[in-house]
Amino acid sequence: MAHLFPTTSGPNDPPGPQLSPEQWHYALAQFLSQSHSQTIPPTQLPTPPASASPELVLDPMLAPQPQPTTESRLEALEQEITRLKAEKRATEDDSESAPEKKRRKRKQKPSPYVLKSSAGLCEEQIKVRKLLMQKVKNEGKRITGRLSDSDSDSDDGDDESDLPSSQATHTILRYNFAATVTHADNIKVFDRIADLVWTEQRDPTSSTYSLGYPNVSFTREDLIEFAKTNFRSWKSKWKGEHYPEVRRKQEKAAQKDRQVLRRKELKANRLKAVSDYKQKYKRDPICILETDFMSDEISAPSTDDEDTRDEHRRRLVKAAHLGPTQQRNDVWEVIRPGFQSVEMSKTKNDLDELVNKRRETQNKKTKRIRGRVPRVNFGNTHNRIPRSTLYPFMLSQPWYDEHVAGNEELEGTVMIFSKDPRGFGDS
Residue 3 buriedness (CB in 10 A; 0-12 / 13-18 / 19+)? exposed
Beta-bridge partner residues of 340? 395
Helix (H/G/I), strand (E/B), else coil: 309: helix
> For 164-186, what is each residue's pLDDT tens digit?
545 445 678 999 999 999 999 99
Helix axes 123-143, 184-201, angle to 10 degrees: 130
The mean of the pLDDT values for the chain is 82
Query: CA-based angle 201:205:210, to the nearest 5?
Result: 40
Q: How far apart are CA 219 and CA 20, in angstroms?
A: 105
The contacts of residue 365 (CB under 8 Å, 6+ apart) are none
Q: Which of 200, 220, 219 is nearest to 210 (CA)?
A: 200
Measure the CA–CA gap between 247 and 204, rounded to whole angstroms.
Answer: 44
Per-residue pLDDT band for 83 (boundaries 50, 70, 90) equals: confident
Distance CA 270, CA 352 (A): 7
156 confidence band (pLDDT: 50, 70, 90): very low
Helix (H, G, I), strand (E, B) or coil at 298: strand
Asked if residue 214 has pLDDT above 90, the reply is: yes
Q: Among candidates 301, 298, 291, which has minimal Cα distance to 386?
A: 291
Q: What are the pLDDT digits (tens) for 355-377?
A: 999 998 888 887 776 678 999 99
Which carries the bigger pLDDT value, residue 162 or residue 357?
357
User: Over 50: is that where the pLDDT of 152 sits?
Assistant: no
What confidence tier does 343 reach under pLDDT thresholds 50, 70, 90?
Answer: very high
Answer whether residue 219 shows pLDDT above 90: yes
**Predicted confidence band of residue 50 (pLDDT cuts 50, 70, 90):** low
Q: What's the pTM? A: 0.60
CA 380-386-389 angle, 5° bins: 140
Average pLDDT of span 93-104: 58
Q: Report strand pairing: 296-298 vs 381-382.
A: unpaired
The torsion of the CA quartet 367, 370, 374, 379, rounded to 10 degrees, works out to -80
What's the rounded Cα separation, in Å, for the pair 107 and 280?
62
Q: Which of 292, 306, 261, 297 is nearest to 374 (CA)?
A: 297
